[in-house]
Chains A and B, each alone.
Chain A
Amino acid sequence: MKISRGEYYSGRIFLLLMMIITVLPFISIFTTALYPSGTIPDGLSWPANPHWENFITAFKVANMSTLLASSTFIVLAVVPISLLISTMAAFAIGQLRIPGSRFLLFLFVFGLTLPMGGIIVPLYYLERQMGIYNTRLAIVLPLIGLYMPFAVYWMRTHFINMPTEISEAARVDGASTWDLFWRIHLPLAQAPITSLGILMSVWTWNQFLLALVLVEDPSHRTMAGALGAFQGHYATDVPLLCAGTIMILVPTLIIFVIFQRQIISAMLQGSIKG
Chain B
Amino acid sequence: MQLKAPSKTPPARTEQIILFRVSGQLFAVSSGSVQEVRSVDTLAGSATEIVAPGLKKVRHIVRRGDRSLFVVNGAMHFGLPLTPGLLVFVLRGTRTALLIDGIEKMTTMTRLQALSQAFCSEERNWYRGLTALDQNVVPVVKPEGFLTNDEMAMLEQSLIPAEVEESAENQLAGRHS
**A, B co-complexed:** no
